[in-house]
């Protein structure tokens, strides 16, 4: 007779999931080159656009040309990581039905998707270093003090979790619809525009800004970026980072609810 | 004590009632009317450890619904299940440690990575001790001939190679029970045989309990002594294959090659099944006439060159049960 051990939670499988995701991503070498290539092109284009715009218009307060170019370049660097849909695997597994075999394994299934996404993101985060080097040939990037840099990193990581949970919620919709590509497209536009990735949110009229700051997207790009370029002063750090933490908590809660209802649909309706 | 036991197992799927057409689709968005579809009802099955059972039924009979409940990913509407002493859906993860699954139509291997890496991942997931892992890997590589493609990415493997990989993957953690869902679908004869050998060996040497769901009844005939037949959600037969054969295999076919073309060929006590030139197929009930008597009857009237008797295969028998339903005293009239 075969002896089986009682199930207990171990971290090892989740570390392995992340490692396998890194290995998987590295098999798509062409992807790596295209993402670096398109990054370089976008840095160059944005430098051109901002230089042309600033030549004809007055700079907004506190955002001279070198600051806006720094803003855009750092935004593109962040985008290398934040623009990844790290929980796409959830949607894929719902779409092709492999979610059933995921549930047949002795694992915590949402944590599995989290680990896989983390591995994917870590792989792409490694691209940030060559991307910085390449962008230095094209533009000058302002570097703030070490304290600001640390606060930026904290805010960036919180922004990452905001993005992670937004993606997770979106991918959970596939529990009901199986297909989410239209919603994803909308999300990409909304993040580009209202997240502050394409341009600083101060360019929006005040009334629109109020609406934007009521949405979670600004917590992804805008907050860390404005900390970086010094638009948000240290006395407001507690407030803006507090808002980011609040968004993480709210979105994590919403993700949990979505997962619970979605997973129940699988166990009751058979996927 | 049985390793798997279900009692009055039932699963009802509920869906929103839909009228046809665009109007129906729109009203379905707001409708609160539901439609219940009984997928499985009153399934009582019990398996002893080490048994190999074929779980057979036409499409939509409730096979995979039952398997999903046994694996713990589907919660039954009513009734109870116990697998290796636990309730699967209440302790999904513990149950997952006890079982292995192979789906012919779906792989659990990492598509982009070499086969070996999927095995290493599974070792981590199931916490297989290193020496046990090495031992199993050596044995499976030998039986399934994996060595040649262990370092090939799974997406480049042939279906036969991938299935062999999937089998090794399912058995790596020494599960007590394995569920095999159409494991030989789409495979060539040689690959099928290799897979069947492997299942047989695992069952014999490790005492693994096997539930096999398939439409390929050759798998079942080769591997299982017992079959459970399910149709429209209920178990219609549970017992040895042999009994099914004796109960239902009442009709045989006599193939006769005629020495001359007899346009008006007919024989009392047997039905002409088909005729191709001088070769005729006669279906007869072995309870009303023996083969010997029938051959004598034919040779008395016609001159023949050859005869052969064909036993009904399990496929024919089961097809008949699907069509006519199962009853202990099967109808004698030919279909």
Q: Is the pLDDT confidence value at A103 over 50?
A: yes
Q: Is the pLDDT confidence value at B328 over 60?
A: no
Domain count for chain A, please give it: 1
Interface test with B, best of A4, A12, A109 (most B CBs within 10 A): A4
Interface of A with B in 158-187 (CB under 8 A): none
Between residues B136 and A85, which one has the greater pLDDT? B136
Interface test with A, best of B126, B156, B179 (most A CBs within 10 A): B126
Confidence of residue A79 (pLDDT cuts 50, 70, 90): very high
Average pLDDT over residues B2-17: 89
Cβ neighbours of B125 in A, within 8 Å: 13, 16, 105-107
Chain A interface includes B29 (CB < 8 A)? no
Confidence of residue B333 (pLDDT cuts 50, 70, 90): very low
Interface of B with A in 164-193 (CB under 8 A): 174-176
Chain A interface includes B319 (CB < 8 A)? no
What pLDDT does residue A241 have? 96
Which ranges constitute the DSSP H helices of chain A? 12-26, 29-56, 65-82, 88-96, 99-103, 109-125, 128-138, 146-172, 174-177, 181-194, 206-213, 222-229, 237-269
Q: Is the pLDDT confidence value at B117 over 70?
A: yes
What pLDDT does residue A221 have? 94
pLDDT digits (tens, 9 = 90+) for A19-28: 999 998 888 8
Average pLDDT over residues B179-195: 91
Average pLDDT over residues A189-216: 89
Nearest CA-CA distance, residue A43 and chain B, Å: 32
Q: Beta strand pairing status for B251-258 and B304-310?
A: antiparallel
Confidence of residue B28 (pLDDT cuts 50, 70, 90): low
Is the CB of A4 less than 8 angstroms away from the CB of B206? no
Cβ neighbours of A13 in B, within 8 Å: 121, 124-125
Average pLDDT over residues B106-131: 92
Average pLDDT over residues A84-100: 87
Q: Beta strand pairing status for B226-231 and B52-56?
A: parallel
User: Does residue A142 lie within any of the structural domains?
Assistant: yes
Confidence of residue A269 (pLDDT cuts 50, 70, 90): low
For chain B, what is the HEC assignment?
Answer: CCCEEEEEEEEEEEEECCCCHHHHHHHHHHCCCEEEEEEEEEECCEECCCCEEEEECCCCCCHHHHHHHHHCCCCCCEEEEEECCECCCCCHHHHHHHEEEEECCECCCCCCCEHHHHHHHHHHHHCCCHHHHHHHHHHHHHHHCCHHHCCCEHHHCCHHHHHHHHHHHHHCCCCCEEEEECCCCCCCHHHHHHHHHHHHHHHHHHCCEEEEECCCHHHHHHHCCEEEEEECCEEEEEEEHHHHHHHHCCEEEEEEEECCCCCCCCCCCCEEEEEECCEEEEEEECCCCCHHHHHHHHHHHCCEEEEEEECCCHHHHHHHHHHHCCCCCCCCCCC
Average pLDDT over residues B300-309: 90
B306-311's contacts with Cβ under 8 Å and 24+ in sequence apart are B306/B256, B306/B257, B307/B254, B307/B255, B307/B256, B307/B257, B308/B254, B308/B255, B309/B252, B309/B253, B309/B254, B309/B255, B310/B252, B310/B253, B310/B254, B310/B255, B311/B249, B311/B252
Average pLDDT over residues A148-165: 96
Work out the percent of chain B whose per-residue pLDDT is above 70: 94
Confidence of residue B330 (pLDDT cuts 50, 70, 90): very low
Cβ neighbours of A269 in B, within 8 Å: 13-15
Chain A interface includes B28 (CB < 8 A)? no
Nearest CA-CA distance, residue A157 and chain B, Å: 28
What pLDDT does residue B122 have? 95
Confidence of residue A1 (pLDDT cuts 50, 70, 90): very low
Is the CB of B175 less than 8 angstroms away from the CB of A100? no
pLDDT digits (tens, 9 = 90+) for B32-53: 677 888 999 999 999 999 999 9
Q: Is the pLDDT confidence value at B334 over 50?
A: no
| Three-state secondary-structure class, residue A101 | helix
pLDDT digits (tens, 9 = 90+) for B85-98: 999 999 999 999 99
Residues A162, A221: Cα–Cα separation, whole Å: 10
Nearest CA-CA distance, residue A187 and chain B, Å: 24
CATH, domain range B4-244: 3.40.50.300
Which structural domain, as residue segments, surrounds residue A213?
Answer: 12-269
Average pLDDT over residues B245-268: 85
Between residues B40 and A4, which one has the greater pLDDT? B40
Contact A175, A83 (CB under 8 A): no
User: Does residue A5 lie within any of the structural domains?
Assistant: no
Q: Which residue of A has its CA nearest to B95?
A: A106
Chain B interface includes A105 (CB < 8 A)? yes
Nearest CA-CA distance, residue B115 and chain A, Å: 12
Q: Is the pLDDT confidence value at B17 over 90?
A: no
Chain B interface includes A11 (CB < 8 A)? no
Q: Is the pLDDT confidence value at A170 over 90?
A: yes
Q: Is the pLDDT confidence value at A111 over 90?
A: yes
Cβ neighbours of B103 in A, within 8 Å: 101
Residues B169, B116: Cα–Cα separation, whole Å: 10
Cβ neighbours of B91 in A, within 8 Å: 7
Is the CB of B176 less than 8 angstroms away from the CB of A2? yes
Return the top range by mean pLDDT from A21-30, A87-96, A201-210, A221-230. A221-230
- Domain boundary assignment for chain B: 4-244, 250-311
Q: What is the mean pLDDT of chain A?
A: 90
Q: What is the mean pLDDT of chain B?
A: 88
Which of B14, B72, B113 lies nearest to residue A23, judging by beta carbons? B113
Cβ neighbours of B207 in A, within 8 Å: 1-2
Q: Is the pLDDT confidence value at B31 over 70?
A: no
Cβ neighbours of A266 in B, within 8 Å: 73
pLDDT digits (tens, 9 = 90+) for B49-75: 999 999 998 888 899 899 999 999 899
| Three-state secondary-structure class, residue A8 | coil
């Amino acid at each position: 007779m075969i002896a089986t051990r009682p199930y207990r939670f171990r971290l090892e499988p989740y570390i392995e999931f992340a490692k396998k995701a890194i290995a998987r991503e590295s098999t798509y070498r062409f992807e790596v080159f295209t993402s670096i290539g398109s990054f370089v092109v976008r840095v160059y284009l944005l430098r051109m656009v901002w230089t042309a715009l600033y030549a004809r218009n007055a700079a907004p307060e506190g955002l001279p040309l070198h600051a806006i170019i720094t803003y855009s370049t750092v935004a593109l660097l962040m985008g290398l990581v934040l623009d990844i849909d790290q929980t796409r695997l959830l949607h894929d597994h719902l779409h092709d039905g492999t979610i059933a075999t995921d549930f047949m394994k002795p694992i915590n299934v949402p944590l599995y998707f989290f680990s896989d996404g983390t591995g994917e993101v870590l792989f792409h985060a490694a691209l940030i270093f060559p991307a910085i080097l390449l962008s230095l040939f094209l533009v000058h990037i302002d570097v703030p003090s070490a304290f600001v840099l640390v606060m930026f990193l904290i805010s960036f990581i919180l922004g990452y979790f905001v993005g992670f949970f937004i993606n997770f919620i979106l991918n959970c919709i596939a529990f009901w619809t199986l297909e989410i590509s239209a919603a994803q497209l909308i999300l990409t536009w909304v993040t580009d525009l209202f997240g502050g990735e394409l341009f600083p949110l101060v360019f929006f009229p005040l009334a629109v800004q109020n609406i934007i700051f009521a949405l979670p997207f600004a917590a992804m790009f805008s907050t860390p970026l404005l900390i970086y370029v010094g638009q948000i002063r240290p006395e407001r750090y507690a407030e803006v980072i507090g808002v980011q933490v609040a968004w993480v908590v709210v979105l994590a809660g919403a993700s949990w609810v979505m997962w619970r209802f979605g997973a129940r649909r699988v166990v009751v309706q058979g996927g | 004590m049985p390793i798997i036991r279900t009692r009055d197992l039932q699963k009802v799927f509920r869906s929103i009632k839909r009228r046809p057409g665009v109007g129906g689709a729109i009203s379905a968005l707001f409708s609160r009317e539901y439609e219940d579809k009984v997928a499985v009802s009153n399934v009582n099955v019990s398996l002893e450890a080490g048994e190999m059972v074929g779980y057979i039924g036409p499409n939509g009979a409730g096979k995979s619904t039952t398997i999903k409940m046994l694996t713990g990913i589907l919660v039954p509407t009513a009734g109870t299940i116990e697998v290796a002493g636990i309730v699967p859906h209440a302790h999904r993860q513990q149950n997952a440690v006890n079982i292995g699954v192979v789906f012919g139509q779906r792989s659990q291997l990492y598509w982009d990575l070499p086969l070996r890496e999927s095995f290493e991942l599974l070792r981590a997931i199931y916490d297989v001790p290193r020496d046990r892992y090495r031992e199993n890997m050596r044995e499976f590589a030998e039986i399934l001939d994996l060595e040649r493609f262990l370092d090939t990415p799974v997406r480049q493997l042939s279906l036969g190679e991938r299935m062999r990989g999937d089998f090794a993957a399912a058995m790596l953690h020494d599960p007590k029970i394995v569920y095999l869902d159409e494991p030989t679908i789409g495979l060539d004869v040689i690959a099928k045989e290799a897979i069947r050998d492997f299942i047989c060996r695992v069952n014999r040497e490790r005492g693994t309990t096997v539930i096999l769901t398939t439409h390929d009844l050759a798998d079942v005939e080769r591997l299982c002594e017992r079959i459970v037949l399910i149709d429209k959600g209920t178990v219609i037969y549970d017992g040895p294959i042999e009994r099914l054969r004796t109960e239902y295999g009442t009709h045989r076919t006599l193939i006769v090659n005629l020495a001359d073309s007899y346009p008006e060929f007919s024989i009392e006590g047997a039905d002409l099944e088909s005729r191709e030139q001088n070769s005729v197929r006669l279906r007869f009930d072995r309870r009303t006439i023996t083969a010997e008597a029938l051959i004598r009857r034919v040779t008395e009237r016609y001159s023949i060159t050859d005869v052969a008797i064909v036993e009904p295969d399990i496929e024919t028998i089961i097809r008949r049960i699907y069509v006519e339903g199962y009853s202990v005293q099967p109808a004698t009239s030919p279909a």
